[in-house]
Amino acid sequence: MKLTTRNAEIFVAVILALCSIGLMIKAAQNSITWTIEDNMGAGFMPFWLSLGMLICTIITIFKWVIRKSPQSNNNEPFIDPEANKYVYVTILSLIGLILGTAYVGIYISLIFFLFFYLKNFSEKSNLFISVFSIATPIVTFCFFEWLLKITLPQGISEPLFYPIYELMY
Amino acid sequence: METFYLLMNGIGTALVPFNLALLIFGCLIGLFVGAMPGLGSVNGVAILIPITFIVPPTAAIIFLAAVYYGAMYGGAISSIMLGIPGASTAVATVFDGRPLAQKGEAITGLTAAAVGSFVGGTVSVILFTLFAPPLAKVALAFNAPETFALMVMAFATFVGLGGDDIPKTCFSILIGLVLSTIGLDLISGKPRLIFFDIPGFLHGVNFLVLAIGIYGIGEMLWTLETTKGAVKISSISFTFKDVVLSVKKLKGTMMAMTIGSFLGFFVGILPAAGATPAALMAYGITKQLSKNSAEFGKGAVAGVVAPECANNSASTGSMLPMLTLGIPGSPTTAILLGGMILWGLTPGPLLFTQEPEFVWGLIGSLYIANFFALILNVALIPAFIMVLRVPFAILAPVIFVLCVTGGYAPTQSIHDVWLMLLFGVAGYILRKLDYPVAPAVLSIVLGPLAEKAMRQSLIISDGSFNIFLDFTIKPIAATIMYIALIFLFLPLINILKNQLFPKKA
Amino acid sequence: MNLLKKVAILFVSFSFVAVSTTSAKEFAPKKPIELIIMAGQGGGADEIARLVQGVAEKNDFTSKPLIPINKPGGSGGEALQYVKAKSGDQHTILITLNSFFTTPQNQKELDINILEDYTPLARLLTDTFMVWIKKDGAKTSGINTLDEFLARAKQGDLVMGGTGKMSEDELLLGMMRSMFGFDAKYVPYSGGGAVAKGLIGDESDFTLNNPSEQMGFYQSGDSKALVMMTPKRNPAFPEVPSSHELGYPDLEYYMMRAFVAPADIGAEATKYYTGVLHDVYMNAEFQKFNIDDGKLLSWIEGYGLSDFFAVEYDKHTEIVAAFN
């Protein structure tokens, strides 16, 4: 089965319908009723709103079945095959960046992320890419830690920054 | 006349060379902090509280006003240039600011935002000077039922914002509302929708996380796909003539400015609301009342002016409940409030009479800060335009870095960064399938305010909806509610008419 | 890549020097200290946290800055879990209030044991609660004493504004309910400031605010305090009677402002932070601010604080049980 827009439409609609059901189940862990004595239960709003989401997705699925919406008649590939690479690589490298931020620390991960990304997608020289990849985390550090006093996650690379803090304060 | 004298005194103090230097420095910091996605005046003001122990209190107030205003101006910059709201208050600026920049009219967008901010700031500070004490009474009369009516009105003004596909638009509104219920329920004290017992959900879904995800990551993925990484670099030249020309384009936006300034101020002084709903409402109402409402969302200048006017106006307005009632209207004023208490000032109805120098010094600084923020902003337009000349392959990773830091900074939790990525990817896919995303962003801002106000009102009324509709119980709430219903039904009838009887092409 | 490697080596060698020069015995922070606030911006705990930060900064009490971070999620549940997970981390401290006792009981799934999961540092202050009414409130005009108020409240139609379900003031309402036999509708607001405004805006008929939350309205004469829930009168409110002198000694309740650190941070770090807090506590500016604000200076540290936590936790278990 090819990932055409038509297929993506039904695929996404079914996933959203399942999510809506999941939300309803989760919301129903709290009271979903509304009585005058007890006021509105904590689950009331999320439950009935999720039911609304479910109804919306069912209509979308129905429109797909009777081919009433533009997406249900569109057999073009969902993601432009020539642009596939950009989308997937970007998403994966972002996942890598956030994983790295959580465990290795943001400043170190940024160096690798920028180096990888620029190496792949730009035609700049290696020297430019290296300088840029190292300069950006430094600027980020100065801006957040020094000016705004917001500490960004440093993970296991934290001890590397102790001498810098020693100099800063 | 005493007011006038005190105000002039305040302005005079702000113009002393040392204070003026602080003011310009503060405006610059504010501009940059405001322009960074995820960071807003709240961060700028927070770094400043410790500084206030070093410089004298007057200088501290001036610096503070400068950062505050600078950040309000700065929020628009990344909304227009990058399409990512620089601060939550600037989300409505994205709707038309981004398309303007894409059309190659970034200068017009930036000028419109700067001038709009200036007008909004000036109108509100004048209103503040003249009517602060009576307006404090209005803020007091605005309780839960009135707040709920106002939220319904905010929703109503946005009915026309969705796409053509009604079920998908409804889905977007509903998912925004459901996401906004995540976290601890204030009314029942119970945690809701804590998926997989992950503690990060206890603080709910921060609106900025959704906005940065959708408009930052989602938008970038979309751009990468449609251009295959080869975005044409727009060769915008910048001359002073362009600014003059773009000022001329603002002629037709008088209505947007009026709505933005007055509505913004009014919503700002209400303790519960703040600048974000104010900007959204100003955008929605301007669009509904505009003759060219079809242009909104495609780069209408009025669509930039209205929210920028409103958010600056509301930010000044939100100082009022802080000063006179001691209730912060926004996180930023909450920090300011903390600062005031540390200076030994007790916010309350007596503050205006007991500490006139402080109050009028602050207001005087706002006048001056507003003026300098405009000058600096216009002067820096060439620098901002340079961003558009950066090759896309370099700009893209930098934007991703801004998104990651911006997603992290507001709550300082990595959980939110993951959520942001999830929203970004989901937003990208949904957008490709014609699900409108703006309604979800709107709902997540207004949803919590609306739900809380509604449930508070219903506790008071023992479950009766008459509290919103009966003129004899709550006249203000009922009036707003009926206006909201009119706003709600007019476009709905139009939409239904178009769906049922499509015009023959 | 060569350059990268060099920088990395430089960094590592640098840090080795720095680590080895700090003596092993005396603890000194190596990086900015996170000051976690288990409540939102603008609340009472936030105010004290930022005051402590400001005083410490101004007088150079800490060699690295204190960075306040608000984690109000889940009535502080998120902050409690965050700090619990940081066991052994010497650069995090948490400012607690009474939700330190109630949140773990109301949300059992958090799995928090306050006596084992945290290192107690010091309690600096206690705040109390007062019964507030509006000067000419729609249903309470003409009431000047607690007894008049109680007589009126027994009609059962009063609305009380509070800071959230199962928060201190609702528990306190529960205490008063069983003590005096009246009931009231409870409307939750977000934060003490909003509660105070609801009273003056005629939305609620009475509140149980902290002194500082009503200070502005009290000074302007818009609100009246009927009783302070302490044994003695407070110098900041000389004309407000204490519950003991009115003959209700059981009507006594305090809000603590105490600091804790994650578990297992070691004796040296505990001593360091307790010392810093003591410096702040002894600061004249800090003391004057809190006395003017109607708070009670009440330092306890170490074992005294652990005992206090244990006693208060049990007390709150009873109150919560009685409430349910």
Give the mutation candidate from A152, A162, A164 for the C interface (greatest C CB count, under 10 A): A162
Is residue A111 assigned to a domain? yes
Of A162, A166, A169, the CB nearest to C65: A169
Nearest-Cα distance to chain C for A23, in Å, is 19
Amino acid at B75: G
* Element containing residue B191 per DSSP (H, E): strand B191-192
Q: Which of C41, C109, C219 sits opposite B346 (nearest CB)?
A: C219
Quote the pLDDT of residue B309. Answer: 95
Local confidence band at B466 (pLDDT 50, 70, 90 cut-offs):
confident
Which residues contact residue C284 at a Cβ distance below 8 angstroms, ignoring those fewer than 6 apart? none
Instruction: List chain C domain ranges.
Output: 31-127+254-323, 130-228
> From CA B471, how far away is CA B399, in angstroms rounded?
51
Q: Chain C contacts of B141, Cβ < 8 Å?
A: 201
pLDDT at C24: 46
Q: What average pLDDT does the segment A122-145 reach?
A: 91
Q: How confident is the model at residue C107 (pLDDT cuts 50, 70, 90)?
A: confident
- On chain C, the residues whose CB falls within 8 A of the CB of A160 are 11-12, 14-15
Chain B hits for A27, CB-CB cut-off 8 Å, are 192-193
| Residue C35: strand pairing partners | C68, C93
Chain position carrying tokens 């955008």: B283
Note the pLDDT of residue B390.
Answer: 83
Task: Return the ∠ at Cα B34 (arms to B247 and B63), rounded to 5°.
Answer: 95
Residues facing C159 on adjacent strands? C185
Neighbours of chain C (3+ CB pairs under 8 A): A, B
Q: Is residue A78 part of a domain?
A: no
Q: Per the structure, how many domains does chain A have?
A: 2
- Amino acid at position B359, single letter: V
Range B307-341 burial, b when 16+ CB lie within 10 A, else e: bbbbbbbbbbbbbbbbbbbbbbbbbbbbbbbbbbb
Please tell me which of the candidates B192, B396, B433 has its beta carbon nearest to residue A42: B192
pLDDT digits (tens, 9 = 90+) for B27-48: 998 888 888 887 877 777 777 6
User: Helix, strand, or coil here: C187?
Assistant: strand
User: Max CA-CA distance within chain A?
Assistant: 71
Identify the architecture of domain C130-228 in CATH. Answer: 3-Layer(aba) Sandwich (3.40)
Token output for C289: 């601010």
For an interface test with B, the pick among C61, C165, C200, C288 (most B C-beta atoms closer than 10 Å) comes out as: C165
As a whole number of angstroms, the distance between CA C197 and CA A159 comes to 48
Say if strands C159-162 and C185-188 run parallel, antiparallel, or are unpaired.
Answer: parallel
| pLDDT single digits (tens) B372-428 | 999 999 888 888 888 777 888 888 899 999 999 989 988 888 999 999 999 999 999
Q: Quick one: pLDDT at residue B424? A: 95
Q: Please give the Cα distance from C74 to B189 (Å, whole number).
A: 8
Instruction: With a cut of 60, say whether residue C3 has pLDDT above it.
Output: no
Q: Tell me how far apart the terminal alpha carbons of chain A are, to the nearest angstrom.
A: 61
B55 to chain C, any CB pair closer than 8 A? The answer is no
Residue matched to tokens 């409030």: B337
Across the strands, what pairs with C186? C160
> Closest Cα to residue C243, out of C128, C85, C127, C152?
C128
Contact call for B338 and C189, based on CB within 8 A: no
- Closest CB to C31 among A130, A150, A165: A165
Q: C291 to chain A nearest CA, in Å?
A: 30
Residues A90, A162 within the same domain: yes
- The Cα–Cα gap between B427 and B84 comes to 14
Structure confidence by residue, pLDDT tens digits, B64-100: 888 888 888 888 998 998 888 877 788 889 999 989 9
Give B266 or C165, the one with higher predicted confidence. Answer: B266
CA–CA gap between residue B70 and residue C199 (Å, rounded): 35
Could you list the residue range(s) of the whole structural domain that residue A31 is in?
5-73
Question: Using CB atoms, which residue from B189, B204, B346 is nearest to C106?
Answer: B189
* Residues C74, B184: Cα–Cα separation, whole Å: 5
Please state, in angstroms and rounded to a whole number, the distance separating the CA atoms of residues B74 and B34: 4
Third-level CATH fold of C31-127+254-323: D-Maltodextrin-Binding Protein; domain 2 (3.40.190)
What's the pLDDT at C263? 94
Please, are residues B84 and B215 in contact by the beta-carbon 8 Å criterion?
A: yes
CA distance between the termini of chain C: 64
- The angle subtended at Cα B39 by Cα B36 and Cα B45, nearest 5°, is 120
Window 102-141 of A, Cβ < 8 Å to C: 111, 130, 134
Interface probe for A, chosen from B170, B212, B221, B398 (most Cβ of A below 10 Å), is: B221
Q: Which long-range contacts (CB under 8 A, 24 or more apart) does C11-14 make?
A: C11/A160, C12/A160, C14/A160, C14/A163
The mean per-residue pLDDT over the stretch C208-220 comes to 88
Q: Where are the alpha helices (DSSP H) in C59-210?
A: 77-85, 99-106, 146-153, 168-180, 192-200
pLDDT over 70, % of chain C: 92
Whether C256 and C122 have beta carbons less than 8 Å apart is answered as no
Q: At C25, is the pLDDT very low, low, confident or very high (cuts 50, 70, 90)?
A: low
Residue B50 has what pLDDT?
Answer: 66
The three-state secondary structure class of B421 is helix
Test B185 with A40 for CB contact under 8 angstroms.
Answer: no
Tokens of B298: 């495609």
Residue C234, beta-bridge partner list: C237
CA C219 to chain CA mean position, Å: 23
User: Phi, psi at residue A73, to the nearest 5°?
Assistant: -110, 5
Residue in C54, C191, C220 closest to B348 by CB: C220
**Inter-chain touch B221–A91, beta carbons under 8 Å:** yes
Q: Which of A54, A73, A92 is the last residue of a domain?
A: A73
Cross-chain residue pair B401–A16, CB shorter than 8 Å: no
**A9 Cβ under 8 Å from any chain B Cβ:** yes
pLDDT at C312 over 70: yes
- Closest-CA distance of chain A to residue C144, Å: 32
pLDDT score at C5: 52
The tens digit of pLDDT for each residue in B328-382 reads 767 777 777 777 777 777 788 888 888 887 888 888 888 888 999 999 998 888 8
Residue in A with minimal Cα distance to B395: A118
Name the residue of chain C whose CA is nearest to A159's CA: C15
pLDDT at residue C1, as a whole number: 42
Taking each helix axis from N to C end, the angle separating B356-389 and B106-141, rounded to the nearest 10 degrees, works out to: 150
DSSP helix/strand/coil, C121: strand
Closest Cβ–Cβ partner in C4, C18, C65 for A166: C18
Q: Is residue A79 part of a domain?
A: no
Contact (CB<8Å) C15/A160: yes
Give tens-digit pLDDT for B227-243. 876 665 555 666 777 77
Q: Please tell me the predicted confidence (pLDDT) of residue C153.
A: 93
pLDDT value at position C229? 93
Q: Are B369 and B66 in contact (CB under 8 A)?
A: yes
Residue C287's SS3 state is helix
How far is residue B240's CA from residue B236's CA, in Å, rounded to a whole number? 13
Looking at beta carbons, which residues of chain A come within 8 Å of C12?
Answer: 160
Instruction: Tell whether the model's pLDDT for residue B55 goes beyond 80.
Output: no
Helix (H, G, I), strand (E, B) or coil at C37: strand
**Cβ(C35)–Cβ(C52) below 8 Å:** yes
How confident is the model over C214-232, as a mean pLDDT? 91
Go through chain C and tell me how many residues it has.
Answer: 324
Instruction: Identify the pLDDT of residue A36.
Output: 67
Size of interface A-C (CB pairs under 8 A): 43
Q: Give the pLDDT of residue B131.
A: 86
**Rounded percentage of chain A residues whose pLDDT exceeds 70:** 98
Q: Residue B503 has what pLDDT?
A: 57
Please answer yes or no on whether C50 and B344 come within 8 Å at the CB atom: no
Beta-bridged to residue C96, according to DSSP, are C258
Which of chain C's residues have a Cβ under 8 Å away from the Cβ of B348?
215-217, 219-220
Query: Does the CB of A149 have a partner CB in chain C at under 8 Å?
Result: yes
Give the helix ranges, DSSP H, for A28-83. 44-65
Q: How far is A150 from chain C (nearest CA, A)?
A: 7
For residue C1, list chain A residues with Cβ-Cβ distance below 8 A: 130
Instruction: Report yes or no: A98 at the B interface, CB cutoff 8 Å.
Output: yes
Assess contact for A136 and B398: CB atoms under 8 A: yes
Q: What is the DSSP letter of C76?
A: G
- Give which of B421, B169, B451, B195 is closest to A22, Cα–Cα: B195
B239: phi then psi, degrees, rounded to nearest 5:
-130, 160
What is the residue type of A168? M
Q: Which of C58, C78, C103 to mutate to test the interface with B (most CBs of B within 10 A)?
A: C78
This complex has an ipTM of: 0.94
Q: How far apart are CA B184 and CA C107, in angstroms?
A: 11
Query: Which pairing describes strands C66-70 and C130-134: parallel, antiparallel, or unpaired?
Result: unpaired
* Option in A111, A130, A162 nearest C31 (CB): A162
Q: Please report residues of B whose CB lies closer than 8 A to that of C47.
A: 338, 341
The region of weakest confidence among B379-388, C258-267, C274-283 is B379-388
Q: Identify the closest residue of chain A to B226 by CA–CA distance.
A: A83
